[in-house]
Amino acid sequence: MAVQQEIKSQLAKLLATEDIIVEHKDVETAQFNVHTRELLLPLWDKASENVYDMLVGHEVGHALFTPDEEPPTDIPFTFINVCEDARIEKLMKRKYLGIAKSFKRGYTELHEKDFFEIGELDISDLNLADRANLHFKIGSLVTIPFSDAEKEIITLIYDAETFTQTLAAAKALYSFCQQEAKEQVSQTPESVQSEGDIEFGSSNDSVHSGNTDSDSTDDTGSSVTDSDSDDTLEGGNSDNNPSSRGGDTCDSLEPEVRTADSLAGKLKDLVSPNAIENVYLEVTDVNIENIIATNSEIHQHIDESWAQQLENRKEYESNTGYDKVNIFEEVDLDYEKFKTDARKEVSYLVKEFEMKKSASAYARAATSRTGVLDTKRLHNYKFSEDIFKRITVLPDGKNHGLVFILDWSGSMSQVMQDTIKQLYNLIWFCNKVQIPFEVYAFTNEWKRGQEFKYEPYYKKKEYAFQIDDDFTLMNIFTSKVSGKEIDKQLKNIWRVVSCFRSYGYGNRYFNYPHRLSLSGTPLNETLMCLHKILPQFQKDNGVEKVQCIVLTDGESNSIPYHVMVDRSWEDGLSMGLRSVNGHSCSLRDRKLGKVYNFGYGWWEFTDTLLRNLKDRFPETNFIGIRLLEKRSGKYFIDRYHNWQDKRRDAIVSDWKKYKTFTITNSGYDAYFGMCSDSLSEDSEFDVDDSATKAQIKRAFVKSLKVKKLNKKVLGEFISLVV
């Protein structure tokens, strides 16, 4: 059965007691970088659970106990590695008593498969470094002889508790093996030496390169692979090696640790040649100032458009003789009517907010002594020191802020006005309770056909996501303007969206400003921008708690990422793009030390970005308001609750009864599904004078249903905000 890589990643993090970065990549050896805290694991698809756990535990030992410092250069890395492996495995067994079984089972399995290649050898013929390596890894499985002098060095290695002591033991081991190699040469007949058949430190006939142990790391803080130690440890291929030229100088002899080389070679065989390499992607570091179109320039463009259209109308009336018409009269009356009708919902929001805020404040209230004597308790002075007046201190509840994200895509055309109504209710609520807010609408149309000085949004980086040059966040509303100005801006946007429902995106007398045309759905790009927007909003407004509300009718497709590619028609590598593969691609947050799977559903890309945002900003609630057609409700629910989920029936029941539901296991803290048809219904009880009893009843029930829908959604929203 294949090993679950992400489970092993979590095991490594738990053992390391920190959020180290764990990556499974197409590499030959495991590596831990003690400086960057990155654990790189090969794709050991052929490794058993026991071997995998042993190798992960070994690397975590380096994470916990190997310091980030430069080792001496006069000791070959392989000798330091033998001693350091013994120390960190000893400390791991001491820290986690149960891990001793994992080490034993793993090394037992490797020994049974002869990963150390000692099956046909006489262990006593190996040099001390090889026997020490075997002793600390499989010493309980094979008999390994040591002389009295060798036992002193083995004891020195075993007793090492610090890296400094390990270096001292490695130096002693290396010196002993050098001396051992010299004695071998001096005891060998000269005729044999001249034939170049001597294998120093080994009884094997073949010459092995001095590769490092595959599950070991460079203790200097840099990841080390086999090639890093070849120059130091090669014994049979160098021109300076006496054995290759029948050498007669003992000073240049370099002993090897061939069992480490054998283990490294065998562990490479556990890596599947057809394994799909994991790709770890990062959220793009954007320059948010170049992405946001400011509130003032948005409404300046709208005002200029209205002025031009009014001028065009006057000219048209002058040329044709038609009666003068206020082109905005009808739509402005609709706005004023909605504004008046919305007062009830806004008042309800304010009441719910104040009630829940007061209850929350009372629950967090603290009672303190004032230092003023309470005359009613003076008679207790002989028995109690508590004779002072008390005061109840309530924490300040006005520490909220709201950031709204509005979907400005073409698919929103028929529901945009109903969505705006929900947004306006929340904006008027914020004004009433003096909560700062910002509203951003995402679009790809703001810069279309305009001449701009191009300023890049970000620096292209391999494995970071692409941000389209036309992507813009329009800051259509802000609490920083005066009450009179915000009302004017609300009317501006009301006029704009009134055009979208009409055929051809035009009103009877006027049209929307061309730069505010509906576009694609760059929702995922917007979520990445929130990494910069949220902390800046919190800092600018001095708020402790931020709510982020996304109003949309659907998720967008995944974003491609940058990767270096080698094209035949170009000189050298160049930056290209590649699509996200849910099977092999993951989102990595280096700051948090977490890795997120994208999943296979196209909508799961958005959920992954939201999960990362929730971890980055734990004090922020992310609320989604999803507008759905009546027939689409069950289909959307099935994304998050399958037929066997007991919660599904209750959610479907809410959809049938209230035309709304709440999903709590998506990327959002709460994902409200709302029927777009119900939003457009009028909640006012209005019937003709000649209406029958049945007509009056239907109108009354309809108005109650709409009010019930609004109150249910608004009530759940307030419970999240407080």
Task: For 694-715, give the DSSP string.
Answer: HHHHHHHHHHHHHHHHHHHHHH
Percent of the chain residues topping a pLDDT of 90: 35
Pairwise pLDDT comparison (320 vs 283), residue with the higher score:
283
Mean pLDDT is lowest, of 52-56, 227-231, 622-626, for 227-231
pLDDT bin (cut points 50, 70, 90) of residue 452 is: low
Instruction: Examine the domain organization and report whether 59 and 170 are in the same domain.
Output: yes
Instruction: Examine the domain organization and report whether 191 and 303 are in the same domain.
Output: no
Q: In the prediction, which pLDDT does 594 show? A: 81
pLDDT bin (cut points 50, 70, 90) of residue 364 is: very low
Range 337-353 average pLDDT: 83
Q: In the prediction, which pLDDT does 698 show? A: 59
Instruction: Examine the domain organization and report whether 405 and 487 are in the same domain.
Output: yes
Nearest to 18 by CA among 2, 3, 45, 38: 38
User: How far apart, in whole angstroms, are the C-alpha atoms of residue 298 and residue 683?
Assistant: 32
pLDDT at 217 over 50: no
Instruction: Examine the domain organization and report whether 233 and 301 are in the same domain.
Output: no
Instruction: Examine the domain organization and report whether 254 and 311 are in the same domain.
Output: no
User: How far apart, in whole angstroms, are the C-alpha atoms of residue 279 and residue 584?
Assistant: 6
Pairwise pLDDT comparison (682 vs 206), residue with the higher score:
682
pLDDT at 233 over 60: no
Nearest to 283 by CA among 101, 70, 514, 467: 467
pLDDT bin (cut points 50, 70, 90) of residue 15 is: confident
Residue 60, in any domain of the structure: yes
Paired strand residues for 465: 561
Name residues whose C-beta falls within 8 Å of residue 524's C-beta, 6 or more positions apart in sequence: 465, 555, 556, 558, 559, 605, 606, 609
Mean pLDDT is lowest, of 194-203, 316-325, 538-547, for 194-203
Instruction: Examine the domain organization and report whether 296 and 177 are in the same domain.
Output: no
The string of pLDDT tens digits covering residues 465-524 is 999 888 999 999 999 999 999 999 999 999 999 988 765 555 678 899 989 999 999 999
pLDDT bin (cut points 50, 70, 90) of residue 384 is: low
Range 397-412 average pLDDT: 85
Instruction: Examine the domain organization and report whether 273 and 293 are in the same domain.
Output: no
pLDDT bin (cut points 50, 70, 90) of residue 6 is: low
Residue 353, in any domain of the structure: no
Q: In this structure, are residues 226 and 212 in contact, taking their beta carbons and an 8 Å threshold?
A: yes
Alpha carbon distances (Å) from 435 to 355, 476, 721: 16, 17, 11
User: How far apart, in whole angstroms, are the C-alpha atoms of residue 288 and residue 286?
Assistant: 6
Half-sphere exposure of 473 (CA within 13 A, CB side): 28
Q: In the prediction, which pLDDT does 562 show? A: 94
Average per-residue pLDDT for the chain: 79
Q: In the prediction, which pLDDT does 242 show? A: 37
Q: In this structure, are residues 301 and 74 in contact, taking their beta carbons and an 8 Å threshold?
A: no
Range 610-615 average pLDDT: 95
Mean pLDDT is lowest, of 556-560, 571-575, 695-699, for 695-699
Range 570-580 average pLDDT: 86
Residue 384, in any domain of the structure: no
Pairwise pLDDT comparison (687 vs 39), residue with the higher score:
39
pLDDT at 633 over 60: yes
Q: In the prediction, which pLDDT does 322 show? A: 82
Instruction: Examine the domain organization and report whether 311 and 210 are in the same domain.
Output: no
Instruction: Examine the domain organization and report whether 181 and 299 are in the same domain.
Output: no
Mean pLDDT is lowest, of 141-155, 439-453, 640-654, 687-701, for 687-701
Q: In the prediction, which pLDDT does 696 show? A: 52
pLDDT bin (cut points 50, 70, 90) of residue 240 is: very low
Q: In the prediction, which pLDDT does 212 show? A: 37
What is the three-class DSSP state of 130?
Answer: helix
Instruction: Examine the domain organization and report whether 232 and 308 are in the same domain.
Output: no
Residue 359, in any domain of the structure: no
Helix (H) or strand (E) holding 370: strand 366-373
Mean pLDDT is lowest, of 22-31, 141-150, 205-214, for 205-214
Instruction: Put residue 223 in one of left, alpha, beta given phi > 0 → left and psi -120 to 50 → alpha.
Output: beta
Count, in order, helices (H) and strands (E) of the chain.
Answer: 22, 18
Q: Phi and psi of 326, rounded to 5°?
A: -80, 105
Q: CA dihedral in degrees (441, 447, 449, 451; nearest 10)?
A: 150
Number of separate domains in the chain? 2
Tokens of 379: 């008679």
Residue 700, in any domain of the structure: no
pLDDT at 199 over 60: no
Helix (H) or strand (E) holding 574: strand 573-578
Percent of the chain residues topping a pLDDT of 70: 74
Instruction: Examine the domain organization and report whether 15 and 63 are in the same domain.
Output: yes
Residue 695, in any domain of the structure: no
Instruction: Examine the domain organization and report whether 256 and 307 are in the same domain.
Output: no
Half-sphere exposure of 145 (CA within 13 A, CB side): 6
pLDDT at 434 over 50: yes
Residue 155, in any domain of the structure: yes
User: How far apart, in whole angstroms, are the C-alpha atoms of residue 669 and residue 617?
Assistant: 12
Q: In this structure, are residues 50 and 100 in contact, taking their beta carbons and an 8 Å threshold?
A: no
User: How far apart, in whole angstroms, are the C-alpha atoms of residue 439 and residue 405?
Assistant: 6
Burial 229-257 (b: 16+ CB within 10 A, else e): beeebbbbeeeebbbeeebeebeebbbbb
Q: In the prediction, which pLDDT does 397 show? A: 45
pLDDT at 362 over 60: no
Nearest 5°: the CA angle 74, 265, 220 is 35
- In which domain, by residue range, is 408 found? 288-317+399-680
pLDDT at 215 over 50: no
Residue 117, in any domain of the structure: yes
